[in-house]
Structures are given as C-alpha cells and as structure tokens.
Amino acid sequence: MDAMTNPRADRVKDVAKLAGRPSRTKRRQFLVEGPQAVREALQAHRDCLNAGGEPIVDEVYASRECLDRYPELAELLAGSAAQPGGSGKLRIASELVLAAMADTVNPQGVIAVCRFIDVPLAEVVAAKPRLIAMLCRVQDPGNAGTALRAADAAGADAVILSASSVDVYNPKTVRSTVGSLFHLPVVLGVEPAEAAQAFRKAGVGILAADGYGALNLDQLQDESAARSFDQETPEAAYPLEAPTLWLFGNEAQGLSTQELELADHRVAVPVYGAAESLNLGTAATVCLYASARAQRRS
C-alpha cells in the first residue's frame, strides 16, 4: 500500500475540513485523533457491528510508526476489515499529511473519520435509564468533554446536550472526552423542556444542580445512607436512589429560571471551603457520583 505523502492532496483537505462545523454537519462525520481515542472508536465500531448496528469508523489514516507502536490498533483494524460492512479503509500516511489533516498540532500518528453517533431522545428514554446528565447551554468544548467523561465514570446511562450547547463533535470536545464519547449514548439538540417532559413521563425524577438550591446534596446522601442502614428517617425530600435526570447549567450563568422550573428540586452541592462556586466538571462529578452510590446501594 502506497503511503499518502502529499499534504496538499484533495483527500487531505477533505479530512481537515471536518475541524469546522459546517463540513461536519453536512457530511455527518467527525475527526478522532490520537491512538487512545482511535482505539476507543474502533472498539465501539466493532461492538456496534457485532450487535447488528451501523459502522462508526469510515476511514483511518495512520503512520507506519504508529501502527508498529500500537499493535492493538492494527489488530482492531484487521478485525474490522474482515467484518461485513467493516471499515477496510486504512491508509498509511506521512506525519506531514497527518498534521495537515488534524486539528491538533500533534495527532500522534493516527486520525479516524467517524460517523455521527448521537441517538434520538426517544431511544434513551425507552431504555429505562436510571441516571442521565443533561448539559444546558454549556459553551466551552473542554468543559463539555470533562462533564461527559465524569458522567461516564459515574456510570450514567446517557448524556444530553441542549440545542444551544457547544458541538460535541468539535475536535476539542472529542479530545477532552478521552474516549468516553464512545462509551455511553449521547443525545444532541434537545431543548431542556422537551427532555424533562419525556423523562418525567417515564417516571424519572429531575434535579437541578444549583448553588442556591433549597436542598443540600449532603442531606440527600445522608438520608439515603440512613435508609440503607434501616435507620428511622423522616420522609426523604428526594430519594437519591430513584431514577434521576440531573440538569447542569452554563458554566458562567448556571441554569436559567426556566430551566430551574423544569426540576422537581434544586439541589446545592456543598462548598466546604471559600470557593464561590464549583466548576461544571466538579459539580457534575459530585452530583452524579452521589446518585450512582445511592443507586448501587439500594
């Protein structure tokens, strides 16, 4: 197989265009860069095909050095090529070509072109989820990626981004999810009101993470722990072990009045120190881990 060596070739330009939202939206494809993220994409691709689903990875561009260094990539690619519908489209490319394709300065030798993987809201609701994170108007690619990774770590069943949030397929967001984008279903472009209505119908409670919330997350956690020890407790303000949709707001302004009104309760994450507020990643981590612990104990 001839290596691609011309960074000005049309195909190189076509791949590079995926760093921009118009090309992504039109082609419904996005860039995945670096060995770890591409490995996660190829694993998701394999699992999806095995389950009778659609392919995820359309093309992989890698340097020979990278394939030598990460033999699991070559194995995944070989396995993928052998599958019906699998991507056989591995092209060896020079580092110059890869740099011209990539959004990062250093794509570490490998880039994949993947198909959009977001799913419809109805599909997530139908799967009877117990823990869902919704990001409302989150603007920073890194924050969105970090929150998505925290949701993955906490075992959330899905992440939803509101219509006016940053594009989850932005290369910076993809990068900062460190593969988590391929681990759990992501729903895009939904208004908070629509999501709240759909989940409430399905019996899911709705909590808003809000620094000014009347309920304190510690109180909910203590009540949940007490119940697990069969302690007599007054009726809980909200049973943290219940199926829950958490709403998280914009990094600067938090949740809007309308968004807050969608929730059953507004819950404040305790700030023990002098920090004025929590950043989105910290708040999402504390809230989602609190729910996950309560749900696992019940």
Instruction: Please tell me whether residue 180 binds a copy of itself under the rule CB under 8 A.
Output: yes
Of residues 29 and 224, the one with the C-beta less far from a copy of itself: 224
Residues 246-285 touching a copy of itself, rule: CB under 8 A, are: 271-279, 281-282, 285
Distance from C-alpha of 172 to C-alpha of 4, rounded to nearest angstrom = 25
Instruction: Please tell me whether residue 229 binds a copy of itself under the rule CB under 8 A.
Output: yes
Return all residues near 186 (Cβ < 8 A) that are at least 6 apart. 117, 118, 119, 148, 158, 159, 160, 161, 168
Angle between helices 280-297 and 141-153 (to 10 degrees): 10
Distance from C-alpha of 169 to C-alpha of 31, rounded to nearest angstrom = 8
Q: How far is the CB of 285 from a copy of itself (least distance, A)?
A: 5
Of residues 22 and 273, the one with the C-beta less far from a copy of itself: 273
Q: How far is the CB of 25 from a copy of itself (least distance, A)?
A: 27
Do residues 297 and 241 touch, judged by C-beta distance below 8 A? yes
Instruction: Please tell me whether residue 156 binds a copy of itself under the rule CB under 8 A.
Output: yes
Measured in Å, how far apart are the chain's first and last C-alpha atoms? 56
The pairing of strands 215-216 and 57-62 is unpaired
Return all residues near 183 (Cβ < 8 A) that are at least 6 apart. 40, 44, 152
Of residues 60 and 184, the one with the C-beta less far from a copy of itself: 184
Rounded to whole angstroms, what are the CA distances from 47 to 53, 84, 89, 113? 8, 13, 18, 17
CB atoms within 10 A of CB 185: 19
Residue with tokens 């700030």: 271
- Per-residue binding string, a copy of itself, 208-227, x by CB under 8 A, is ----------x--xx--xx-
Of residues 59 and 222, the one with the C-beta less far from a copy of itself: 222
- Per-residue binding string, a copy of itself, 123-152, x by CB under 8 A, is -------------------x---x--xxxx
What number of chain residues touch a copy of itself (CB under 8 A)? 40
Q: How far is the CB of 197 from a copy of itself (least distance, A)?
A: 26
Of residues 80 and 221, the one with the C-beta less far from a copy of itself: 221
Instruction: Please tell me whether residue 81 binds a copy of itself under the rule CB under 8 A.
Output: no
> What is the DSSP secondary-structure string of 90-102?
EEEB-HHHHHHH-
Instruction: Please tell me whether residue 42 binds a copy of itself under the rule CB under 8 A.
Output: no
Do residues 17 and 26 touch, judged by C-beta distance below 8 A? no
Instruction: Please tell me whether residue 38 binds a copy of itself under the rule CB under 8 A.
Output: no
Q: How far is the CB of 251 from a copy of itself (least distance, A)?
A: 10
Of residues 253 and 277, the one with the C-beta less far from a copy of itself: 277
| Contact positions vs a copy of itself (CB under 8 A) | 142, 146, 149-156, 178-180, 183-184, 218, 221-222, 225-226, 229, 231, 271-279, 281-282, 285-286, 289, 292-293, 296-297
